Amino acid sequence: MPATTLTCRRIAMALRPLLLSALLAGCAALPSLEGRIASTVITETKHTQLGEALAPLAAQHPGVSGIYPLADGRDAFAARALLAAAAQRSLDVQYYIWHKDITGTLLFDALRQAAERGVRVRLLLDDNNTSGLDQTLAMLGKQKNIDIRLFNPLVPRSPRALAFMTDFSRVNRRMHNKSFTADNQATIVGGRNVGDEYFGAAGEVLFSDLDVLAIGPVVDDVSQQFDRYWNSASAYPAQLLLTKPVAGDAATIAAEADRIDDTKAAEEYMQALRTSPFVRQMMERTLPFEWAKTRMVSDDPAKVLDKARPGTGVAENLKNLLGVPKKEVDLISPYFVPGKAGTKAFADLAHKGVGVRILTNALEATDVAAVHAGYAKWRKPLLEAGVLLYESRRSWEVGDAREQPGRFGSSASSLHAKTFSVDDQRIFVGSFNFDPRSIELNTEMGLVIDSPALASQLGQAMRSTIPQRAYQVLLAPDGSLYWIARNANGTITRYDTEPGTSVWQRMGVAILSVLPIDWLL
């Protein structure tokens, strides 16, 4: 028998199990939601310790909400841990990513401890990033008072890639929302997922990110938004999807948290938390909140089923709430893919004399090279229109990220904050990236805050701090791009190719940039 025939037969035999699995997966269906019990926010919480501490503050500022930016990762973790410890009636927690690392395990245990105290805990996770968590979630779900739902779940559970092969149009859409709400009295909304890299606990791998802690009337808006997702057609009770844990229950999670507590890395991290001025201020109820009119924006959860009403998305709401810029726009987006329409919109603003400053990741700092390829092709037309483009460096000389955090970010390996301001008057903080995926595919949420103080801080950072800590992209007379880095000693370094990258990285981006994949980014 010819060798080629043998080779083909071996390939066919090797692929047969995979093809069979794919066919069986195609027959797999999502479980029925018949009998699923709806639940809503617990509103009678004014007599909880959070209610008694925060309600008097809100009463002094009727009609507005109190906002405190959480730029430092350790503060962001501490805020969640302290809210979980203080809650007496409810915790509503919604995330896109939750890692089983130091901070992820400790927060799982914080939810478990709250449930043991009698707090109702509702945990809603997008299912795209729960790989490796099935057993942990199944154990946590055995704890009384904890209810877990998976949003837009993957079927089959393993191998998960088969769900994309057989149901791509659905599972390609994800819930990107992020919120952590305690007793309907305080909430945390922003760009952070749950994981060490988001909370400054991952050593060399850090994200520069931004959340806000909010109190006042906007908290109930976030709670109502959570209810919409929790009771939506895409939220499946975890027990319908997960197999029973092989061994262990919620106590196993407590033991894992205890084990992590004893590690050197965790001890160093917790020591940093104990010395944090933010923790002291939060415990002493002396946080300097910025009081401002604050409005929540959120996509309809039906968006992942392609059933949301046109014109109701976050992108459309932001246009209405932020208004037409008259003087300047400052935008920070780690995944910035403006496309033809977005590029024209920014160019039109610049041609009208509006100052447009944009910060995104440099190729050396991004964690998704394909997204950088989707952005890179639009740099020249943006620069030709007069838009100022900055790309976050992987590192810089001034201090350490965990020692010298800025108000809206710090020295980190990758930018992850999603925020923009208009005319130093209004600012958005949330999960929304300026890319086709956020606009068309994923659900997003965030807060629009009418605060000149916060908006001008972002503007000031974009005018002074960011140029010192990012590459500025410029256009040479011959039409080529070059990058400059402002050094601590006052000198400037010029790069004629993407700084900090290899020829293979640049070649890969060049190939990706010509592929018609922008709609996926």
**What is the rounded CA–CA span in Å between residue 394 and residue 375?**
18
Q: What is the pLDDT of residues 365-383, one digit of tens each?
A: 888 888 899 999 999 999 9
Task: Using the predicted structure, report yes or no on whether residue 266 has a pLDDT greater than 80.
Answer: yes
Equal CATH topology for 62-283 and 309-520: yes
User: How many CB atoms within 10 Å of residue 174?
Assistant: 18
Paired tokens of 109: 């245990």
Q: What is the pLDDT of residues 171-186, one digit of tens each?
A: 999 999 999 999 999 9
| Stretch among 21-30, 344-353, 354-363 having the lowest mean pLDDT | 21-30
Task: Using the predicted structure, report yes or no on whether residue 405 has a pLDDT greater than 80.
Answer: no
| Stretch among 11-25, 148-162, 195-209, 281-295 having the lowest mean pLDDT | 11-25
84 touches 220 (CB < 8 A): no
Paired tokens of 339: 């496309």
Work out the burial of residue 130: count CB atoms within 10 Å of its CB; fewer than 13 is exposed, 13-18 middle, 19 or more buried: buried
pLDDT of residue 519: 65
Half-sphere exposure of 195 (CA within 13 A, CB side): 20
More confident: 205 or 94: 94
List residues with catalytic annotation: 176, 178, 183, 416, 418, 423
Give the closest residue to 296 by CA, choosing from 199, 217, 211. 217
User: How many CB atoms within 10 Å of residue 184?
Assistant: 25
Rounded to the nearest integer, the mean pLDDT of the chain is 88
**What is the rounded CA–CA span in Å between residue 426 and residue 433?**
17
Give the closest residue to 330 by CA, choosing from 359, 363, 296. 359
The answer to whether the peptide bond before residue 156 is cis (omega within 30 degrees of 0) is: yes
187 touches 181 (CB < 8 A): yes
More confident: 285 or 191: 191
pLDDT of residue 206: 62
**Alpha carbon distance, N-terminus to C-terminus of the chain:** 47
Q: What is the mean pLDDT of residues 4-17?
A: 46
User: How many CB atoms within 10 Å of residue 349?
Assistant: 20
Give the closest residue to 473 by CA, choosing from 388, 396, 413. 388
**What is the rounded CA–CA span in Å between residue 112 and residue 237?**
18
Q: What is the mean pLDDT of residues 487-494?
A: 91
Paired tokens of 137: 């979630």
Q: Specify whether the backbone of 35 is left (phi greater than 0), alpha (psi in -120 to 50) or beta.
A: left
Confidence of residue 212 (pLDDT cuts 50, 70, 90): very high
229 touches 39 (CB < 8 A): no
pLDDT of residue 2: 46
**What is the rounded CA–CA span in Å between residue 186 and residue 217?**
10
Amino acid in the structure at residue 55: A
Task: Using the predicted structure, report yes or no on whether residue 480 has a pLDDT greater than 90.
Answer: yes
List beta partners, residue 429: 419, 447
The answer to whether the peptide bond before residue 159 is cis (omega within 30 degrees of 0) is: yes
| Domain extents in the chain | 62-283, 309-520
**What is the rounded CA–CA span in Å between residue 358 and residue 388?**
6
CATH of 62-283, one of 3.40.50.300, 3.30.870.10, 3.20.20.70, 2.170.150.20: 3.30.870.10
Paired tokens of 175: 């819930």
The highest-level CATH class for domain 309-520 is alpha beta
Q: What is the pLDDT of residues 273-302, one digit of tens each?
A: 888 888 888 888 889 999 999 999 999 999
| Stretch among 16-20, 414-418, 513-517 having the lowest mean pLDDT | 16-20
